[in-house]
Structures are given as C-alpha cells and as structure tokens.
Amino acid sequence: MTTVELDTLAADIAASMVNQHMDYEILAGRIAISNLHKETKKVFSEVITQLYHGNLSIMNRRLPRISEKYYTIIQEHADRLNSAIIYDRDFNYSYTAFKILENKHLLRLNGKVVERPQHMLMRVAVSIHNDDVDNAIETYNLLSKQYIVHAAQTLNSACTVKQQMASSFLLTMSEDSIDGILDSLERVAVLCHHNGDIGFNVHCIRAKNTPIRGTGGVSNGLVPMLRAYNTSIPTVCRKNIEGPITVYLEPWHSDIYQFLELKRDIGDEQLRAKDMFYALWTPDIFMRRVFDDADWSLMCPHECPGLIDVWGDEFEALYIRYEEENRYRKQVKARDLWVFITQLQIQTGTPYIVYKDHCNLKSNQQNLGTINCGSFSTEVIQYSASDEIAACHLATIAVDMFVNSTTKTYDFSKLKKVVKIVTYNLDKMIDVNLYPLEEVTFSAYRQRAIGISASGLADAFILMRYPFESKEAKKLNVQIFETFYYGALEASCEMAIEDGPYATYEGSPVSKGILQYEMWNAKPTDLWDWDTLKAKIAKYGVRNSLLIAQTSDTFMAQMLGNNESVGPYTSNICTMHASSKLFPYVKKHLLRDLIEKGLWSEDMCNKIISNGGSIQDIDDIPDDLKLLYKTAWEMPQKRIFEMAAARGPFIDQSQCLNVHMKDPSDKLTSMHFYAWEIGLKSSMYHFKTEDFTNCTQVKEK
C-alpha cells in the first residue's frame, strides 16, 4: 500500500469517527489536504505552467487548460503572486468541502488533480483583475480567508481557455415557429455546454391543436417540444449534473395542465420530461381568482396575442377583454387549478412559484420591457428578449464572518467594504468573461447586472445569541441586507463616475431617484446616509442595472463553512460521506455550546441523532439553547417569510426561499398567499415535506 493510499484510508477512518466529535472532520480534512500537497507542486506559477503546457496523454498532443493571456500575466508577476499565497489556509476547509473541491473544481491533467485550493483561489483572483496584482491579492485574501466565494462556474473556468464565469442565463423563445423552436434549443444547448444555469420561458408557444397556417396541420403544443429539449440537453450538459434548466409558463396557457405534469413520476412516460424543472410566472389576477373561487380562462397565445408583453393593470385589462370576447379555449375553476398545482408541489417539488407583477413592478429594468421569467433557481430576475439573453455573475458573502463573538457586536463597516470589493469584482468579470453567444454579450454589456448573495445568516444569529425568530434577529437581518444594497450601490456609483452609467440607465427607476426600498414603500434604517448616496447617484448614475440576488447554494455554504443561504438550520446534525457510508454528527455551534455547559457525551450525541437533529424534546438541554437551535421544521414558515419580506426592500433581484413542512395540507396554500400578499417576488424554490430521516444507524451509500 502506497503512502497516498494510507493517507486516503486514514482520512476515511477519521471521517467515520465524526459522530464522536466534529474535530474528527477537521482531522480528516487535514489528512486529505496534506495528501494532496504531497502529490502537487507548491509554486503557483509552476502549476499554471504545468496546466498551460499540459498534454492529453491518450492522443499525445498538447491541450492547454490555461489561456495564453493568463499564462503570460501570471509568469510576469510570478514572484508577487507566488509569495502572496498562504498554503496553510487550505487546512481551514472541512473534509466535505475539500472533497467537493477535489471532485468538481480543482483542475486536472489526464484525470489527476494538479492544483491545490489556494492555487484555484489565486487563479480566480487573477482572472478577475488580470495584471492588477494589488487587487488580485486583495481578492485572493478574501477568498482564502472564506469571507467570500465566487460561483462554481467561476471556480471551474477562471483563467482557462474557455473562461465562461457567468452563473445564470435567462432566455425568451426566439419565436413561435419551427425555426424559433430549433434556434432556442441550440441556444439552450450552447449555454448548458458552457456550464450555465438556465431559466427560459415558453409563454409564446401556441397551444395544442392550434392551426398552423403554413402546413395546414395543427400544433402539438408544449409537451413534445419540451420533451425534445429534455432529451437533447443531457448530451451537452456537465457530467453527473441534472439538467440545469427551469422552464417558466404563465398559468393562463391552455397547455398548463400537461405542463405541470411533466416532472410527475406516475403516468405516461411519453408525456414526461423529468430532467428539467418547472415554474409558474404568476400574475396577480390569477391569485385573486383563486382566492375568490372564480373562473379562470385558459387561452392560446397565438389566438390571444400580447398577454406576454404586458403586466399589471394592462395585462388584466387585456386578459378580461379576451374573456369577454370568448377567445379562451376553456374555463376552469381557478381554485381547482390551484389545488392541482399544490398537489404536484407536494409530489414533485415543482412548480416553483414566481409572481410576474411583483417582479416587474419592483424591477430596475422595467424601462426595457416586460420581464418574462426568472433564473434556474428563481433568485435572478432580468429582462430577456429574442435578441437579448440575460446573464448574471454571482458571488456569496459569509455574513457570519463579521460577528465579534466576544463582544457580541456586528461589524457593518467591514461588511460594507467587502460588499464593495465584491461589486467591483463582479463588474470586472462582465468584461473579461467569454460569452458563448452574441445575444448574451449584447445583454451583459448593456445591462451589467450582477448578483451578490449572503450565506450563514443563521450562523450570525447563533454567534450573536439571537434566536431566529427574535426581534434582534429580525433587526440584524434588515441591517445586513441594507448594508449589502448600500455598499453595492455606492460602489456602482463610484464606477459610474469613472466609466459612466450602464447603457440603458436612462429611464430606469434608479435614474428617476427610485431605489428598491421605495418600490416596497419601505424606509431604510439610520445605519447609512441614504440621502447623500441618492444625491450622488442622481448626479453620476450607477454602473450596474441590478446588484443583489439572494441565492441558495449548498456548495457555497460548504466552501464558507456555514449554513446555506439565509434560512434557519434544517437540522442540528448532518452526515459525512466516508468509506462508502454515511455518518451522522452534531453541528459545530451546538456542539460547542454543549461542551461549554458540560452536557456533551456519547449519550447526548445519540439522543440528538435519534431525535433526527432536534433538541426540543431532550430534557437535559436548557430552554435558552432550545430556542437558539430551533430548526426550520420547528418554526412557522410565516416567520421565515416575514424575514424575507423585511430584507426584500434591499434585494433588487429576488431570493430563493426554501420551504419545510411536515404536513403541508392547507398550510401550503396559506403560505403562498401570504408570500404574495406581503409583496415577495417568489414564494418557493426548494420544497421539502419530510424531516431528516432518523440517523441512528450508519447507512450504506
């Protein structure tokens, strides 16, 4: 057995002991990372040279992984870049985070990993800043200290010959024709091939049995077309990844019932397309009709044109006019359709619900035209058209890193500084990115939209000793996102002073002095000087049309070592993959508190695990800890939505909201209507109806 194999075995053994104490995960990670260090070159510039001159051994020909441009920059500044890297920071990654990096993001030659995590982070920093070494090192330090993380697409492709770092793309069908359908399929395939997550809408496609004048036949509707997309996309998608596509449809479309069933596990497989995800682009009038138990008219966009081009009062007037003219295909009870929607959400987790009128009313891009869909995971809301494919670069900030655990204070000034750096970074990425289609380039340069997200909000609350539902947590939630929006706007305005505002700035709400919080009829706190910033924006404009998009990404949270996104913990235990098995263990914050109170033991560990990660029924644990460590399953979803609405005035795109309900029944409808009534742009992304399974037994993978 080689030393590499011995280290791999030792790491697996340490990981398998994690249920005794989470320090075993740290040990496992350090063994695995030390093993990688033994097998890779240390010097950054030498690793880049290795990747640049790499050979494809099977075909015995050169296949560079690094572009010539970045190879040259790195060699020219090798001394400074090499000396700036602190390799010991690799050991800050957990075993789980390291394995994700090793399997998905660290660059390889002939199947073997040749770079270390710190090499990857410096590669990302250089890709953004090119030969601006000072800013590259500043960004590297924020990445390596785990204050921020750029999106997976950035980690994968930074500095490579195909540097496509945009995270999300939003498409509108080219047109309702065979050429339009095939052209859109090609666009989707190209974007998937370049690692993009995609949201696209099919509102304009004529319904089933609509006459086709050119052939004398009738349309087959949405289902065969979407099945074709579903079949084609896996051939170009990333390996081992479910189709990264969400398809949006408005609920008045005559094919709505068939559309909703596409992801269903039962029924005719010829009517299913399970590798994609589905979302409803929901107008207010539909929600009101459901509430009133009124009729709902299903229409064909070919026979009732213009519905997709308007929103709000204009949409409602046109929709009612078509009803009065009897141009609908069929009328159903709105509530019956709604029940069908919620039943499928319980069964399949989709459709996601996104509110068309809220998204348009509260968008800084409303001067461009009607927005017709969101992104793959609903957090990006941008304008798209047949000649304009929206793109968004994303990054996440670990908001728990700004808590002083000793003094129980939060450093908003430091947070604002980091937000501004991330804003500069994402804006620079727009210009250095390799866009796979002209329509994407056109939109990216015109709109310059970016998306900054938070991770670890629940961790910040725990470190501040604020229960998730407390008034103190609600206040901190608002202040963090107010700081996000303020810092991003300030940075964007500063860039506009140097380079001018983005191309379509004139006519936008911001150009008229209307910021996101004013679209919600909300007022900011007194944390920042908004009057001065607004005056500065009025004079110089902003460089970016959109700035904040709250995503939900487990990978980013694992990279940052905190809880995913802005929701509460879903459990106080998690599982470790080691030796082809799953091992449950208690999470770090609760473990620390139990040790400090002298309550930690093997028996306590087993009690928490046998309770599925809940501590509410464990008598030995004091009430203050039970309140602090309530999980998403143990608090009303209304509280989570109230938090979302409170920070909404400072999120100019949207936010992913994960819903957890043990017994959905009527509560699911109440939740959606509450989200709509309080003005959220979406009410559901991931939907889970069961708690973590009982993890008292080690489970085979």
Look at the chain and report how many structural domains it folds into. Answer: 3
Cross-strand bridge partners of residue 576: 583
Cross-strand bridge partners of residue 298: 330
Mean pLDDT value across residues 425-452:
98
Neighbours of 461 (CB within 10 A): 27
Q: List, in order, residues 6 or more apart from 580 with CB less than 8 Å away.
A: 700, 701
Q: List, in order, residues 6 or more apart from 624 with CB less than 8 Å away.
A: none
Cross-strand bridge partners of residue 66: 160
Which of 287-296, 341-350, 471-480 is predicted with the least confidence, judged by mean pLDDT?
Answer: 341-350
DSSP 611: T
CA distance 31 to 10: 7
Question: 294 and 343: one domain?
Answer: yes
Angle at 640 between CA 461 and CA 411, to 5 degrees: 30
Check whether 467 has a pLDDT greater than 50: yes
In a domain, 66, yes or no: yes
DSSP 211: B
DSSP code string of 342-390 = HHHHHHHS--EEEEHHHHHHT-TTTTT-----B-TTS--B---BTTB-E
Question: 83 and 202: one domain?
Answer: no
Share of the chain above pLDDT 70, in %: 96
DSSP 66: B
- How far apart, in Å, are the Cα atoms of 528 and each of 515, 522, 671? 14, 15, 33
In a domain, 526, yes or no: no
Residue-number span of the structural domain to which 101 is assigned: 40-145
Question: 190 and 99: one domain?
Answer: no
- How far apart, in Å, are the Cα atoms of 351 and each of 3, 241, 256, 661? 50, 20, 11, 16
In a domain, 614, yes or no: yes
Q: Within 13 Å, how many C-alpha atoms sit on residue 332's CB side?
A: 19
Spatial contact of 619 and 611, defined as CB atoms under 8 Å apart: no
In a domain, 234, yes or no: yes
Which of 143-152, 217-226, 343-352, 579-588 is predicted with the least confidence, judged by mean pLDDT?
Answer: 579-588
Question: 179 and 114: one domain?
Answer: no
Check whether 671 has a pLDDT greater than 50: yes
Distance of CA 180 to the CA centre of its chain: 29
Question: 219 and 342: one domain?
Answer: yes
Question: 133 and 194: one domain?
Answer: no
CA distance 661 to 261: 22
Spatial contact of 131 and 64, defined as CB atoms under 8 Å apart: no
Question: 103 and 173: one domain?
Answer: no
Whole-structure pTM value: 0.95
In this structure, is the dihedral angle defined by the CA atoms of residues 457, 463, 466 and 467, taken in order, positive or negative? positive
Q: Which helix (H) or strand (E) holds 412?
A: helix 412-432
Check whether 356 has a pLDDT greater than 60: yes
Identify the domain boundary among 362, 394, 426.
Answer: 362
CA distance 457 to 296: 40
> Which tokens go with 660?
């957890």
Share of the chain above pLDDT 90, in %: 79
In a domain, 610, yes or no: yes
Question: 131 and 268: one domain?
Answer: no
Query: pLDDT tens digit string along 621-645?
Result: 999 999 999 999 999 999 999 999 9
Mean pLDDT value across residues 646-664:
92
Please report the pLDDT score of residue 691 as a whole number.
41
Biggest alpha carbon–alpha carbon distance for the chain = 80
The torsion of the CA quartet 588, 591, 593, 599, rounded to 10 degrees, works out to 180
Position 666: which residue type?
Answer: D
Phi–psi pair at 295, nearest 5 degrees: -75, 150
DSSP code string of 495-551 = HHHHH-S-TT-TTSTGGGT--HHHHTT----SSS-HHHHHHHHHHH--S-S--B-B-
If one compares 662 and 461, the residue with the highest pLDDT of the two is: 461
In a domain, 101, yes or no: yes
Please report the pLDDT score of residue 239 as a whole number.
52
Spatial contact of 415 and 452, defined as CB atoms under 8 Å apart: no
CA distance 641 to 648: 10
User: How would residue 461 be classed by pLDDT, with cut points 50, 70 and 90?
Assistant: very high
Question: 218 and 336: one domain?
Answer: yes
Q: List, in order, residues 6 or more apart from 174 with CB less than 8 Å away.
A: 180, 181, 183, 184, 187, 386
Question: 186 and 264: one domain?
Answer: yes
Question: 210 and 249: one domain?
Answer: yes
Question: 176 and 101: one domain?
Answer: no
Identify the domain boundary among 362, 386, 420.
Answer: 362
Spatial contact of 280 and 337, defined as CB atoms under 8 Å apart: no
Please report the pLDDT score of residue 321 as a whole number.
99
Q: Within 13 Å, how many C-alpha atoms sit on residue 671's CB side?
A: 26
> Which tokens go with 139?
């960004």
DSSP code string of 637-701 = HHHHHHHHHHHGGG-SS-B---EE-SS-HHHHHHHHHHHHHTT-SEEESSEE-SPPPP-SS-EE-
Query: pLDDT tens digit string along 262-317?
Result: 999 888 888 899 999 999 999 999 999 999 999 999 999 999 999 999 999 999 99
In a domain, 26, yes or no: no
Query: pLDDT tens digit string along 43-95?
Result: 999 999 999 998 666 666 778 999 999 999 999 999 999 999 999 999 999 99
The torsion of the CA quartet 61, 66, 70, 73, rounded to 10 degrees, works out to -70
In a domain, 117, yes or no: yes
Query: pLDDT tens digit string along 370-394?
Result: 999 999 999 999 999 999 999 999 9
Task: List the CATH number of the domain containing 339.
Answer: 3.20.70.20
CA distance 208 to 459: 50
Please, what is the average pLDDT of the chain?
A: 93
